[in-house]
Amino acid sequence: MPRAKRVAIPGGVWHLTHRCHNRQFLLKFQRDRNRWRHWLFEAKKRYGLSVLNYIVTSNHVHLLVLDRKPSAIPRSLQLISGRVAQEYNQRKSRNGAFWEDRYFATAVSTDHHLIQCLIYIDLNMVRAGMVQHPAQWRDSGYHDIQIPPQRYRVIDQDALCVLTGCRSPEILRSCHKRWIQEELEKGQLERQAQWSEEVAVGSDSFRARFMQAKTVL
């Protein structure tokens, strides 16, 4: 299997996808999804990872991040994926790979494409037929945006407000809820491969910048 292409321009927004090895359902139990979320919080604390959204499914994860600090993204993904795999294998007395070789990174333009990506992540388990609304899937950024926890807060609401043009977290929550409802009412919930297979999603000029980039993420 070819290694995923990864390029970077500092200050960009990235949609990261990481799948379990051979698409196995290694995250099907709540305790393992909880551990992934725990290590996401640790990555935020240790490396200053700016998280805009996420979801943990039974066999893969989606993560939307802002590239604010050098090496924060790869170091964070190394921490999260390494610790989750180590804990799982030790508990199950298991050997072998937990994740696919590398995560895939897609640059996302900070215009309407960012909001589309935000919604796409939230609706992952609705598309899978597991729930009827994002609020019914516990392991996602939807809850952190709508009801920010007092402790172990992961979502960078200040950054998300700036990037989406919302003047406050309250306005962000209202807009976020409306965006989701509008998408559900459309009823067009098919998988969109661009978010997990393209190097960049945005205008032609935006995508061209990343196609020519040389820096490795």
What is residue 213's predicted lDDT score, i.e. its pLDDT?
A: 61
Provide the percentage of residues in the chain whose pLDDT is more than 90.
77
What is residue 1's predicted lDDT score, i.e. its pLDDT?
A: 39
* Model confidence pLDDT, tens digit, residues 64-81: 999 998 889 999 999 999
Torsions phi, psi for 47 (to 5 deg): -115, 0
Q: What is the mean pLDDT of residues 187-209?
A: 88
Q: Which domains does the chain have, with CATH numbers?
A: 13-211 (3.30.70.1290)
Question: Which of 139, 2, 134, 138 has the alpha carbon at shortest distance from 62?
Answer: 139
* Model confidence pLDDT, tens digit, residues 92-118: 999 999 999 789 999 999 999 999 999
CA distances from 199 to 19, 34, 133, 137, 194 (A): 17, 29, 29, 28, 8
